[in-house]
Structures are given as structure tokens and as C-alpha cells.
Amino acid sequence: MVAPEPAGDPLAVDAALVEQWLVAFLKDEVVRRRGYTKGIVGLSGGVDSALVAVLAARALGPENVIGLRLPYKTSSPDSLEHAALVAQQTGIQLLTLDITPAVDGYLETADPKADPTRRGNVAARMRMTALFDMSAKHQALPLGTSNKSERLMGYFTWHGDDAASVNPLGDLFKTQVWAVARHVGLPQVIVDKPATADLVQGQTDEGDLGVSYARLDRVLYYLLQGLSVERIVGQGFSQDEVELVRRRLGSTHWKRRLATVAMVSQTAVGEYYLRPVDY
């Protein structure tokens, strides 16, 4: 799927081919392997969920895809508008559930003084609770929206926004998501706006991560290729940037796995008992 590497652009992709493959992936995973005819996606108004909505509509038919808006009281009004724009463009069904009463009800009981990080994690997990409950109600498989950059940096709430049944974007860096999003014709206002989890007012992904996606993705790519810190610095990155990414990549590996199992046999589920495609 990755195009021949032009000078200075190791992450170039054939966007048309990626689109075809991801549509085929969703058809295979949702319908053939899981036996569903419908999919449901948490539609945040951001580029990741918007792209999943487009891909799902093309794979399953727009009449078989549900976009679920899950605003919290601090969510940007633009998020709701942009999610509606995606639903209008794709023709998928749009539902809205305000999670504010559920989130605030829990926090008022558990800890009214919870810091913004804890509040954000509660909101993210509440959104996934709602997504899976609506999945059961509508018999629609939950579709993930986390990209490779977020997953490698551990920039997600464990058992929250990365907890879905299938994820078509999990092997695409954020800059590659943008490329495919432009190819499929997503509205420019969605593609161009700063990426944000929309959990805390004023929050942006790049502000939280401490590095732009354009630079982050290339550092991650080089680290995965096995390049040393010194060689990556030689590609035009600062020592601080590379060390920041390297440390976070290494320290968040646990978030990309299921719970660590204490093995007491040779057939531990998830360790030895795997389907062929799990290896």
C-alpha cells in the first residue's frame, strides 16, 4: 500500500489502493467473519471517524451504517456540526446521545474534584459504553477510529476510544489518514482543522503529544524500521524530539495489548491459543 519512497517522504501511500483495501477489509470483517450487516461508528466530527464513516458506507451501504454523536458539555459546537456534515455527505443514519448526565453523575458521586485527565478518561469510556450499547440495540458492529500514530504513542484511553471490534485505520499514520481523507473527498473544513480528542476545552493532539504529526509520524516510522536515535537525528530531527517519541513508544506498549495473563498451562488464551490470523 505504501508507494515507492520519494526523497523526504517515506510515508507516501497510494490513497486509491488503500481505500479499496479498507473497503474490502470492512466487508470481510463485518459481514463474512462476524456475520453482521450493519456497522456503528462514534462520529466525533474529526477526520478519523469521518473517514471510517465514508469507508463503512462504501463497504456496507449507507443505509447499514450508523453515526453516533456523543457530545459532552465541553465539546466544541463545531464537532456536532462537522459530524452532521459527514452524515449528510455519506447518507448514513445520525444519532445523538448527550453523555453529560452520565459522566457528571458518576464524577459527582466518585470524586467531584477529579482532574481534567480523569474526567477525560471517564468521558472516553462512557462514549465506548454508549457505542457498544447502541451496537446491541441496533445489531451493528462497533467500528474503531484510532490511527497508528495514536496507538503507537499510547494516545488513547485504554478500554475507551481504542476499544472497538474492527479498526480500519489502525495501520495508517495520521498523515496517511489525511491523505486518504483528501482522496475520498471529505470536507476540507474537517481535514484541515487541528486534531483534538475534544475532551477538554482548548485541547489539541499535537499540544498533548509535544510534537507535530508531520514530524511524529516520520520519527515513528524510522524507529519501527530499526534506525538508531543518532541516525534519526541525522534525518533532520532534534535529539529531544526523537527521545520524546522513543520513550513514549516504549512506555505505552502495554496499552496495545489485552491484559497480561499469568500463564499456568501451555494453552493460555491470547498467548498460545490463537487463530492463524492472530500470529
From the first residue on, what is the mean pLDDT of each consecutive set of 10 residues in the chain (279 residues)? 58 97 98 97 97 98 98 93 98 98 97 93 96 98 97 94 94 98 97 86 87 97 96 96 97 87 78 54
Q: For residue 122, is it within any domain?
A: yes
Cell numbers linked to 154 = 499510547
Q: For residue 54, is it within any domain?
A: yes
Q: Can you give the CATH number for the domain in which 114 is found?
A: 3.40.50.620
The structure's pTM equals 0.92
Q: For residue 132, is it within any domain?
A: yes
Domain that holds residue 160: 15-208
| Rounded (10°) angle between helices 174-184 and 15-26 | 90
- Alpha-carbon separation of residue 193 from 82, 153, 172, 189 (angstroms): 11, 21, 19, 6
Q: For residue 33, is it within any domain?
A: yes
User: Domain count of the chain?
Assistant: 1
Residue 222 to residue 232: CA distance in whole angstroms: 7
Q: For residue 271, is it within any domain?
A: no
Q: For residue 9, is it within any domain?
A: no
Please measure the distance between the N-terminal and C-terminal CA atoms of the chain and give it in whole angstroms: 21
Q: What is the pLDDT of residue 96?
A: 98
200 burial level (CB within 10 Å; 0-12, 13-18, 19+): middle
Question: Hey, how many other C-beta atoms are within 10 angstroms of the C-beta on 259?
Answer: 9
Q: For residue 279, is it within any domain?
A: no
Q: What is the pLDDT of residue 279?
A: 41
